[in-house]
Every structure is written in C-alpha cells, then in structure tokens.
C-alpha cells in the first residue's frame, strides 16, 4: 500500500519507522511546520517527544487520492496505539508541512 505514497511522504514514514531523526529532517524543508489535532506545534519539540523519544511506529491503513494523505495506526510509548490521519504538503520534493490528528 505504501508504494502509492508520494516519495517524500514515503521517506518520512520510513524514517519515522526507523527512528532516524537525521533521515526524517532531511526530507523536511528548513521552514517546515506542523500541527497536531489542529494545534500548531514546535516541529523539533514535537518530533522529539512524539516520535524519537517515544519510539513511534506507523502502520499505514490507507492512502488518499493525492498520495500525500494517509490514515495510519500510530503507536508510541507515550500514548499507545491510535488511528491517525496525516496530511503532507510537498514542495520541490520535500515536506514543507504536515498535519496529524486522531482519525
């Protein structure tokens, strides 16, 4: 299923699942931004807390028609497992923004 994703989004998912911060930040633009459940978050703090320090994993359930939207079972040691939506804005092959929240 993940073969349908935009290549930048696929790299984000792969980097997240590998718990590889350098790889994840390499696919983001320098001015990348994000929100969680509709609230703007500091990207560096959020990824540190919600991805890297909590050993996050994402299992994709479905990919949207634009290849930059997905629904996933998102699991980390902080919150457990939850069904989440993810929407990415890709600019020049890199992610400039992502929005996530409970599905």
Residue 79 sits in a domain of what CATH number? 3.10.450.50
In this prediction, residue 38 carries a pLDDT of 96
In this prediction, residue 42 carries a pLDDT of 98
* pLDDT tens sequence across 18-55: 999 999 999 999 999 999 999 999 999 999 999 999 99
Q: Write down the mean pLDDT value for the chain.
A: 95
**What is the average pLDDT across 72-85?**
96
Cβ neighbours for 25, distance < 8 A, ≥ 6 positions apart: none
In this prediction, residue 3 carries a pLDDT of 54
pTM of the model: 0.94
CB of 56 closer than 8 Å to CB of 75: yes
- Residue 7, domain extent: 2-102
Number of compact structural domains in the chain:
1
């Amino acid at each position: 299923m993940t073969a349908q994703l935009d290549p930048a989004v696929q790299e984000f998912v792969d980097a997240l699942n590998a718990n590889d911060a350098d790889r994840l930040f390499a696919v983001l633009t320098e001015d990348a931004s994000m929100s969680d459940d509709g609230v703007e978050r500091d990207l560096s703090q959020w990824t540190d807390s919600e991805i890297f320090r909590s050993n996050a994993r994402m299992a994709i359930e479905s990919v949207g028609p634009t290849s930059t939207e997905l629904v996933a079972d998102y699991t980390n040691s902080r919150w457990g497992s939850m069904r989440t939506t993810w929407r990415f804005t890709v600019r020049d092959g890199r992610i400039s923004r992502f929005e996530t929240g409970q599905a």
